[in-house]
Amino acid sequence: MKWRIVLSLYEIISRNAMIMNLRAYLKTSIIPTSIPCLSDEVQGQLIFENSANYSKRLNYVDYAKGLAILLVVSGHVIYHCIFNRDNGASYNLGLFYVLQLIEMPLFMFLSGLVVRTRYQNGKNTLIDCYRKFRVLLVPFIFVGLTFTLFQGYSLDNFFLHSMKRGYWYLQALFDLYLIHYSFQGIVNLLPRKFQMISDIVLFFILSFLSIIFKEWVGDVSVLVILGIDKVVMYFPIFYSAVLINKYELQKYIFGSEKIHFISLFILLTLGILAIWDIKVKGKDYIMMLFGIITILCTLYKYNNKKGVVVDFVCYIGRKTLDIYIFHFFIIGFTSLEFLSGIMIKYNSLFLSCCIVFPISFLIIFISIILGKIIRQNAILNHLIFYK
């Protein structure tokens, strides 16, 4: 009995000692999901503490998500409300061109940047896939079909339409998660020293294939129904962010003053060349890439800042799902065509921002309120938000 008491005390002391030693590490790094030498109880406590520290360090992601959803809503205000879905007229507006260049790539990159990478065995993969199904695919189907019927379209129009009446992002993100979980399961079978090389090789192979297939995948109706046309378009952006997060490269990329300066210099150079009407091959892709880097490098500096504006943008960033799925209902029944004449006449970036952004903020505010109302209903809250 005495020996059992002594052994029990030793286990308690050892456990607390391990926790104390690793707390300092947790403040600056993310521990793996599983540490074989620790008990499940200790791992659970460490992961819980790490999650709190992790969320604090990712404030800049919430800032970026807040900015991204503002850009998305603004693009939809221009396209749907002001120019009544006139693609040509919308692209004649300088602001719309800039928004289309950066908004969804930024959103996809941020989605990859917050992917929690853990050991993928069969059980973990099934659990993760089910969670993403509930969080992404169920709202995609339920809210998307509801909006489709509200607009007077048939249900098959929703599935056959490449844009899924605007809700394609949820389906594409679900597909990208499935790809990520599948290939992480393969990578995890390899020795740890080969995993980074394997990740990089897989990334380049799949990115190369996505570029090849992007040209014809949109013509295959089955692939459009499954959202594969969007997957091949955004896979390189999403998965590059996944790898940055997995190998904790954020501070080396977004925290680098040199990278920040180079990104700004490239953007300014391309802007000057565009003003002089000098053609640059791949200009849009280069501007999109360095635009994302510039935004994240800038916001990374404000990671621990406090203030009314910063807190407001951060709050919006944490409500992106509500804003994304509900703002279509507001935009779908709002007409602002009377603004199209003045915006095309002057085509000023500053004037366009002054007109569009206040309207977008109002729609964002209404969407958040609508989300809060929906969450009051237990059935809808569980169905849409899995709460």
> Does 72 fall in a domain?
yes
Segment 112-134 mean pLDDT: 83
What is the three-state SS of the chain? CHHHHHHHHHHHHHHHHHHHHHHHHHCCCCCCCCCCCCCHHHHHHHHHHHHHHHHHHCHHHHHHHHHHHHHHHHHHHHHHHHCCCCHHHHHCCHHHHHHHHHHHHHHHHHHHHCCCCCCCCHHHHHHHHHHHHHHHHHHHHHHHHHHHHHCCCCHHHHHHCCCHHHCHHHHHHHHHHHHHHHHHHHHCCCCHHHHHHHHHHHHHHHHHHHHHHCCCHHHCHHHHHHCHHHHHHHHHHHHHHHHHHHCCCHHHHCCCHHHHHHHHHHHHHHHHHHHCCCCCCCHHHHHHHHHHHHHHHHHHCCCCCCCHHHHHHHHHHCCHHHHHHHHHHHHCCCCCHHHHHHHHHHCCHHHHHHHHHHHHHHHHHHHHHHHHHHHCCHHHHHHHHCC
> Domain containing 169: what range?
59-255+301-385
Segment 73-95 mean pLDDT: 93
Q: How many domains does the chain have?
A: 1
* pLDDT confidence tier of residue 301, bands split at 50, 70 and 90: confident
> Does 133 fall in a domain?
yes
> pLDDT tens digit string along 204-254?
998 988 888 877 776 677 888 899 999 999 999 999 999 999 999 999 999
* pLDDT confidence tier of residue 119, bands split at 50, 70 and 90: low
> Does 270 fall in a domain?
no
> Does 50 fall in a domain?
no
> Does 13 fall in a domain?
no
pTM above 0.95, yes or no: no
> Does 20 fall in a domain?
no
